[in-house]
Amino acid sequence: MEELKKELKEKIIAALNLEDMSSGDINDTDMLFEEGLGLDSIDALELIIILDKDYGIKLTDSKDGRKIFQTIETMAQYIADHRTK
């Protein structure tokens, strides 16, 4: 799970162009949206693509994304439970 969390942080930094950030700057329980990292609706869609492309999970309702993408912790847990890649 630690490996997966680190991998996720690195993917997010790369995909969302979070310049000048490294995986050490993101805590597992930081809010990704609203406060914390301040990601927006396009970033949420980008995370959905990551789930599909890298972990084989298809999320058809972006509203489900809100719960799953709350923190790195919740994202990693969801991926661990549902990944097909």
Interface positions with another protein (CB under 8 A)? 15-19, 40-43, 45-46, 48-49, 52-53, 60, 62
Residue closer to another protein by CB (options 29, 62) is 62
User: Do 8 and 75 touch, CB atoms closer than 8 A?
Assistant: yes
Tokens 């058809």 belong to residue: 60
> Nearest distance from residue 73's CB to another protein, in Å?
23
Q: How far is CA 16 from CA 41, 53, 63, 72, 78, in A?
A: 12, 15, 19, 14, 20
Q: Which CB atom, from 65 or from 70, has the smaller least distance to another protein? A: 65
CB of 69 vs another protein, minimal distance in Å: 14
